[in-house]
Amino acid sequence: MWSTLKLPAVAVLCFVPWCSGIQEAKRQENSSCSKYRTAAYYANWDIYQRKFFPKDLPIDQLTHVLYAFANINPFTGQVYLSDPEADTSIQFGDQTATQIGAQLYGCLGQLYSIKKNRNLKVLLSIGGATYSQNFAGPASSEQGRTLFASSAVDLVKNLGLDGLDVNWEYPVDEAEAANLVLLLKETRRQLDQYGDSLHTTYHFELTFAAPAGPSNYRKLDLAAMDQYLDFWNLMAYDYAGSWLVPRITGHQANLFSAGDASTPFDTKSSVDYYTSHGVASHKIVLGMPIYGRSFTKTKGLGQSFGAVGTGTWEEGVYDYKSLPMDGSSEIYDEKLGASYSWDPTKQELISYDTAEAGRQKARWIKSMNLGGVMWWESSADKKGGDSLIENVVLELGDCIQHAANNLDFPDSSYDNVRNPPVSQLPSVTASIGALRCGHRHRTYLATAFMAILVIFIFSIFSIFSIFGIFDIFNTSDTLILNLFNAFKIFNIFNILNIFNTSNTINIFDVTFRNLGTKFL
């Protein structure tokens, strides 16, 4: 009998340590290489005048899309979509109504289909400047916090999202700051509860849009908040603008202080405060503006101004892709980590990040061991080699974070989210090209894994044959049930989740998930 059992025994004995090796290799890779997040906000109003759609995002350069914004009922705490037509209903050119059942369309439908890039996570951002006034009431009661969390998680379930971004601008005192901690705690609890309920458990991310102004961040209990957050999106911009009193022109996103009126705030001071109050540097994602703040009727930087420019869509604010304007020259100050344009004829100064300033910030992110970069907001970027996003991503190098998104949403009310067709099952290729480190090694591991998996299946069938299982059970369902249970015993499903590197693995995973639904 030993000669007959030799193949299955050897296969199983080799399989267990090999799986441990996979886990160790993955752990080492993530700790030493996959590091920087690249997150861009996408606003649901971009589809209107801006004519910028989710499919236009540079998804090969992003790890996260932060979808702005969901609103909050100020009395009950229920989180809801702010523009259901744009969010879930509008049918774009690549979306048709031929499918059977309820279909997710709109911006969120297009984003879900884009998740075929398995390294792209989509988070729903709640609040923002317009809706932040609605946080305080619900956050002050247990009932409000519970409904906030449950309704937000319901949106995650239905819309095929990978997490939530809380954008409360800003708690006004210690009481509201304490309520924010409780709100994050309850949201984290319900996200984990849902993630643990899935066939393959998944960690849904929770992030926070963090202030860079001392009058705002000093009110927050950073250490208490941090235990519930995956990372912080530090809004390191809007340091200067039309609201300043006195009306003095200044840099709006400088890294360092000049020690005068031209830099009322600076990013380094903000980062230093966060890290000295309980936030690990690798959890801080540095925000960069893809727009410029205008000052007119001025003699230059650090001087008084009389008005602001007309702007691209909003007074005083210009899209990066429209800068520098005709007649202007760009000035880059490496000492401050800042840049601006100056038109002496119009007497207009516009503060914004140039590609050169963006590359300097990327180098600073690496030197400070920060967690990556965030941009507000994606529709304003240039294309090609002048793109601010592209320049920063290339400067970050080959260690962009690699962490698979989630496609398992069995509770979604949308058929195309709950049961994605095989054509939608993603293939993890080198979607970020040269920026995706370690992909080739994962592909080799996946191929080796599939070979050993075949040996393991034959081993199971050999064991069945030796002990006469085929004679005992004479129905195909019973045979599949025994094979399925054997796969559960050896934890095949969780091991499959390590990779996500080919259509073959994803189809295999979905097939056995369906079998599990049948037999469990």
Phi, then psi, of 292 in degrees rounded to 5? -120, 150
- Cβ-contact 482, 475 below 8 angstroms: no
Burial class (CB in 10 A: 0-12, 13-18, 19+), 217: middle
DSSP type of residue 71: E
Give the residue from 506, 400, 512, 518 showing the smallest Cα distance to 61: 400
The span from the CA of 334 to the CA of 315, in Å, is: 28
φ/ψ (deg, to 5) at 304? -70, 155
246 prior amide bond cis, ω within 30 = yes
Best CA proximity match to 389, nearest among 34, 33, 37, 55: 37
Contact 74, 98 (CB under 8 A): no
Catalytic position from the list 29, 169, 330, 395: 169
First to last CA, the chain: 34
Strands 37-43, 205-211: pairing kind: unpaired
CA gap 67, 79 in Å, rounded: 14
Residue 236 to residue 267: CA distance in whole angstroms? 6
348 classed as catalytic: no
Taking the C-alpha atoms of residue 86 and residue 43, their distance in angstroms, rounded to an integer, is 10
Asked if 160 and 112 touch (Cβ cutoff 8 Å), the reply is yes
The DSSP annotation for 121-171 comes to: EEEEEEEHHHHGGGSHHHHTSHHHHHHHHHHHHHHHHHHT--EEEEE----
Is the Cβ–Cβ distance between 177 and 222 less than 8 Å? no
Helix (H, G, I), strand (E, B) or coil at 424: helix
Helix/strand/coil for 178: helix
Dist. CA 107–CA 82, nearest whole Å: 12
Contact 80, 452 (CB under 8 A): no
**For residues 502 and 446, is the Cβ–Cβ distance under 8 A?**
yes
Instruction: Indicate which residues carry an active-site annotation.
Output: 169
